C-alpha cells in the first residue's frame, strides 16, 4: 500500500509552519509523497526536502495548484481517497475497510476551507474525533491507524542523522558520505 498526502490551500507565511509539519508527519508515519496545492512555496518545499534528505528514505514533495487534477489522476490509477474532516465517519470504525482494499491511499487534509468537490470525490470522509483540531494531529492519528502501528518499525535508508533511542540524553549517529559513523558531541 503506497500512501500519499494531499495538502489543500497552503498560504505562504500563514501556513508555512503547519504545512511543514504536515509534510514531516506524513513522511515519518509512512507516506512516500506529499502533494501541495494553494500557493506555491519554494522555500518551504526546499526546507522539507533538505530535512528529508538528511534523515533518509525516498520522500517526495510536489506542487500542483490543481488539486482536482491530483484527485482525478489518483482515482484513474485505481487508488482510493480518504478526506480528513471533523464531519466524516469515525476513523477507528472505517480504517480496517480502507486498509483491506489493498489499494494505494491518498489522504487529503484541508486548509481554511474545503470545496464540496473534495467531499464528493473522496471514497471516505473521515473524522478523528468529532471535535475541531488540526490537520497534523488528524493526519498522524489516521496514518497510525492505517499503518496498524507499523510506522514504529520503518527504516529510512541512507540517513545522515540517525537517532538511537535512549531513555536519557541524546544518542545520534552521523553518517558521512562513506557511511562511516561519527557521534554527535
Ligand atoms: N471545519 C474543518 C473540518 O472540516 O475538519 C476544520 C478545519 S481545520 C483548521 C483544517 C483541517 O484539519 C481540516 O480540513 C481537516 O483536514 C483537519 N481536521 C481538523 N479537525 C479534524 C478532525 N476532528 N478530524 C479529521 N480532520 C480534522
> 3-154 architecture in CATH?
3-Layer(aba) Sandwich (3.40)
Domain ranges of the chain: 3-154, 155-185
How many degrees, rounded to 5, is the angle at CA 79 between CA 106 and CA 42?
A: 40
Residue 10 to residue 31: CA distance in whole angstroms: 19
Q: Which position has the grid cell 489518483?
A: 74
Q: Contact, 25 vs 146, CB < 8 A?
A: no
Which residues have CB under 6 Å of ligand 1? 84-87, 109-110, 114, 127-129, 131-135, 138
CA distance 152 to 66: 33
- What is the C-alpha to C-alpha distance for residues 4 and 46, in angstroms, rounded to an integer? 18
Q: Which of 8, 25, 84 to mutate to test the pocket of ligand 1 (most atoms within 8 A of CB)?
A: 84
Q: What is the DSSP letter of 150?
A: G
Name the closest-CA residue to atom 13, ligand 1.
110
Collapsing DSSP to helix, strand or coil, 55 comes out as: helix
Question: Could you list the pLDDT tens digit for every one of the 185 residues in the chain?
Answer: 999 999 999 999 999 999 999 999 999 999 999 999 999 999 999 999 999 999 999 999 999 999 999 999 999 999 999 999 999 999 999 999 999 999 999 999 998 889 999 999 999 999 999 999 999 999 999 999 999 999 999 999 999 999 999 999 999 999 988 888 887 66
Closest ligand 1 atom to the C-alpha of 131? 23
Amino acid at each position: 500500500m503506497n500512501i500519499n498526502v494531499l495538502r489543500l490551500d497552503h498560504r505562504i507565511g500563514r501556513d508555512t509552519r503547519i504545512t511543514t509539519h504536515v509534510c514531516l508527519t506524513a513522511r515519518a508515519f509512512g507516506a512516500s509523497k506529499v502533494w501541495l496545492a494553494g500557493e506555491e512555496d519554494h522555500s518551504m518545499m526546499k526546507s522539507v526536502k533538505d530535512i528529508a534528505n538528511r534523515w533518509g528514505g525516498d520522500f517526495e514533495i510536489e506542487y500542483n495548484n490543481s488539486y482536482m487534477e491530483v484527485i482525478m489522476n489518483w482515482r484513474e490509477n485505481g487508488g482510493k481517497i480518504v478526506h480528513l474532516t471533523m464531519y466524516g465517519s469515525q476513523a477507528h470504525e472505517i480504517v480496517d475497510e480502507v486498509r483491506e482494499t489493498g489499494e494505494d491511499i491518498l489522504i487529503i487534509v484541508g486548509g481554511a476551507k474545503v470545496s464540496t468537490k473534495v467531499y464528493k470525490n473522496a471514497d471516505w470522509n473521515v473524522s478523528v474525533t468529532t471535535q475541531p483540531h488540526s490537520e497534523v494531529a488528524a493526519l498522524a492519528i489516521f496514518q497510525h491507524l492505517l499503518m496498524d502501528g507499523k510506522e514504529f518499525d520503518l527504516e529510512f535508508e541512507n540517513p545522515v542523522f540517525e537517532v538511537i533511542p535512549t531513555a536519557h540524553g541524546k544518542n545520534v549517529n552521523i553518517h558521512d558520505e562513506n557511511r562511516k559513523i561519527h557521534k554527535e558531541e
